[in-house]
C-alpha cells in the first residue's frame, strides 16, 4: 500500500482526497519509483483546484515532477536503488504523477540524478528550475550576453522566476525582477536581483513600440505583460516565453519583430528531448549556489497540498514548495 493524493470528478467539480492505494493500481510503466519528493507547480494548482482543464481522465494522481529511488525496473538503463528525476511528458496530467509515495512510468521519461544532487535538491529545482534553465539557455543561444544590458524576469516571486533570477545572476547578468508583491523585494535581491520593479508597470496596454529598456527577458506571465515586454526590448533583443499565468492571449503587433529584430523564443520543458534536458540539469548543478537550496524553498506534507494549490493559482506562493512523500 502507498499514500497518494487522488483527484476525481463529481458533478463537473474536481474532488480531492488522500488515500491508501494498492501497488496494483499503478499505471503501466517500465520503472516503479519510491518517490522521495515532489513539488507544487502552477499547473498542479490548476489541476487540483479544477480551475484549468489540465486533467481529462479520472481518477488522477497529480504532480508534474518528482524524484526518488528505483524500486524495480524492466529496462536495463535503471536498476533498483538508482536515483532518478521525472519532469514533464504529461505526467500528472494524463499519467499518474508524483504526489504519491510510489509512481510507475516509462523508462524514457526518466533522467538519472546528476552528480551533486539528491532528491530534495532536485525537487527544489523541479520543473520550474528546469524551465528557467532552458529559458536562460535560449537567451544565450540568441546572443544575449551580460554586456548587452539588463534582463527582466516577470513572475519573479514564483518558481520559474526565482530560479531564473539566481541563474542569471550567477552568469553575470544584471537582473531586474518584476513582482506584484513589494514585501518580497528584499528576498528577490537576496537571490540575485539587482533591482525590483512593480508588476503594475507592465500591465498598461502596450503601444506598438516603446522605449527600449531590456536586452532580454524571461516571461512566465504572457498576455499583456508579454506584449509590453516585446515593445520594450532592445534592438536585436529576445524574450524567452514559458508561461501563461496572466493569460494565453498576446495583444501585440509585428512592429517589434520587423523594426527592431526582436526574437520571441518559445520554451517548453514538457516534451524537451532527453539530451537537452540532461544538459540543462548538469548546467543547473554547476550554477546554483548552495545557499539557493535553503533560501528558495519550503517543505510541506501531502496533507497541506490542497490549500496551497488554491494559493498558488491566486499568486500567493513565493519561491518553491517542496512536497515530502
Q: Is the same domain home to 43 and 151?
A: no
CATH of the domain at 315: 3.90.180.10
Q: Is the same domain home to 87 and 165?
A: no
What would the pLDDT profile of 139-159 be if each residue is shown by its tens digit?
A: 999 999 999 999 999 999 888
Are 134 and 267 within 8 A, CB to CB?
yes
Which of 251, 266, 281 is where one domain is finished? 266
Q: Do the domain assignments include residue 119?
A: no
Structural element, H or E, at residue 310: helix 305-313
Which residue bears the cell 497518494? Answer: 4
Q: Is the same domain home to 105 and 140?
A: no
Average pLDDT, the chain: 94
Q: Is the same domain home to 181 and 57?
A: no
Q: Do the domain assignments include residue 275?
A: no
Q: What percent of the chain is predicted at pLDDT more than 70? A: 99
Q: Do the domain assignments include residue 58?
A: yes
What would the pLDDT profile of 85-136 be if each residue is shown by its tens digit?
A: 999 999 999 999 999 999 999 999 999 999 999 999 999 999 999 999 999 9
Q: Is the same domain home to 94 and 167?
A: no
The model's pTM: 0.89
Q: Is the same domain home to 100 and 142?
A: no
Are 35 and 101 within 8 A, CB to CB?
yes
Q: Is the same domain home to 259 and 298?
A: no
Q: Do the domain assignments include residue 283?
A: no
Q: How confident is the model at residue 12 (pLDDT cuts 50, 70, 90)?
A: confident
Q: Is the same domain home to 166 and 260?
A: yes
Q: Do the domain assignments include residue 271?
A: no
What would the pLDDT profile of 178-212 be if each residue is shown by its tens digit?
A: 998 889 999 999 999 999 999 999 999 999 999 99
Which of 266, 281, 310 is where one domain is finished? 266
Helix, strand, coil abundance in the chain, percent, nearest 5: 35, 30, 40
Q: Is the same domain home to 108 and 131?
A: no
Q: Is the same domain home to 97 and 152?
A: no
CATH of the domain at 213: 3.40.50.720
Q: Do the domain assignments include residue 38?
A: yes
What would the pLDDT profile of 104-115 be if each residue is shown by its tens digit?
A: 999 999 999 999
Q: Do the domain assignments include residue 87?
A: yes
Domain count along the chain: 2
Q: What is the pLDDT of residue 114?
A: 94
Q: Is the same domain home to 186 and 109?
A: no
Q: Is the same domain home to 108 and 159?
A: no
Expressed as residue numbers, the domain containing 46 is 2-113+290-324
Biggest distance spanned by C-alpha atoms of the chain: 61
Cα of first residue to Cα of last residue in the chain, in angstroms, is 14
Q: Do the domain assignments include residue 276?
A: no
Q: What is the pLDDT of residue 296?
A: 64
What would the pLDDT profile of 23-43 be if each residue is shown by its tens digit?
A: 999 999 999 999 999 999 989
Strands 233-241, 214-219: pairing is: parallel
Q: CA-CA distance, 28 to 74, in Å (whole number)?
A: 11
Amino acid at each position: 500500500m502507498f499514500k497518494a493524493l487522488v483527484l476525481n470528478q463529481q458533478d463537473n467539480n474536481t474532488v480531492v482526497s488522500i488515500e491508501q492505494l494498492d501497488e496494483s493500481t499503478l499505471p503501466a510503466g517500465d520503472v516503479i519509483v519510491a518517490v522521495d519528493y515532489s513539488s507544487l507547480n502552477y499547473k498542479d494548482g490548476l489541476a487540483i483546484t479544477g480551475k484549468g482543464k489540465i486533467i481529462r481522465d479520472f481518477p488522477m494522481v497529480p504532480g508534474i515532477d518528482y524524484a526518488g529511488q528505483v524500486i524495480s525496473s524492466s529496462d536495463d538503463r535503471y536498476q533498483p536503488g538508482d536515483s532518478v528525476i521525472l519532469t514533464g511528458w504529461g505526467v500528472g496530467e494524463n499519467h499518474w504523477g508524483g504526489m504519491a509515495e510510489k509512481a510507475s512510468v516509462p523508462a524514457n521519461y526518466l533522467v538519472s540524478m546528476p552528480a551533486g544532487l539528491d532528491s530534495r535538491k532536485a525537487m527544489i529545482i523541479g520543473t520550474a528550475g528546469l524551465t528557467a534553465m532552458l529559458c536562460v539557455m535560449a537567451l544565450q543561444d540568441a546572443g544575449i550576453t551580460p554586456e548587452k544590458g539588463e534582463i527582466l524576469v516577470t513572475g519573479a516571486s514564483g518558481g520559474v522566476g526565482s530560479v531564473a533570477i539566481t541563474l542569471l545572476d550567477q552568469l553575470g547578468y544584471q537582473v531586474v525582477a518584476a513582482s506584484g508583491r513589494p514585501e518580497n523585494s528584499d528576498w528577490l535581491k537576496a537571490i540575485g536581483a539587482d533591482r525590483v520593479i512593480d508588476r503594475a508597470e507592465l500591465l498598461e496596454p502596450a503601444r506598438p513600440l516603446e522605449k527600449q529598456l531590456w536586452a532580454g527577458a524571461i516571461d512566465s506571465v504572457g498576455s499583456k505583460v508579454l506584449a509590453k515586454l516585446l515593445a520594450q526590448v532592445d534592438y536585436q533583443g529576445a524574450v524567452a516565453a514559458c508561461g501563461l499565468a496572466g493569460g494565453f492571449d498576446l495583444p501585440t503587433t509585428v512592429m517589434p519583430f520587423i523594426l527592431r529584430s526582436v526574437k520571441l523564443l518559445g520554451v517548453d520543458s514538457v516534451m524537451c528531448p532527453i539530451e537537452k534536458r540532461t544538459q540543462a540539469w548538469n548546467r543547473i548543478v554547476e550554477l546554483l549556489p548552495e545557499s539557493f537550496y535553503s533560501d528558495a524553498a519550503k517543505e510541506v506534507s501531502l496533507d497541506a497540498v490542497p490549500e496551497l494549490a488554491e494559493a498558488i493559482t491566486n499568486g500567493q506562493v513565493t519561491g518553491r514548495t517542496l512536497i515530502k512523500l
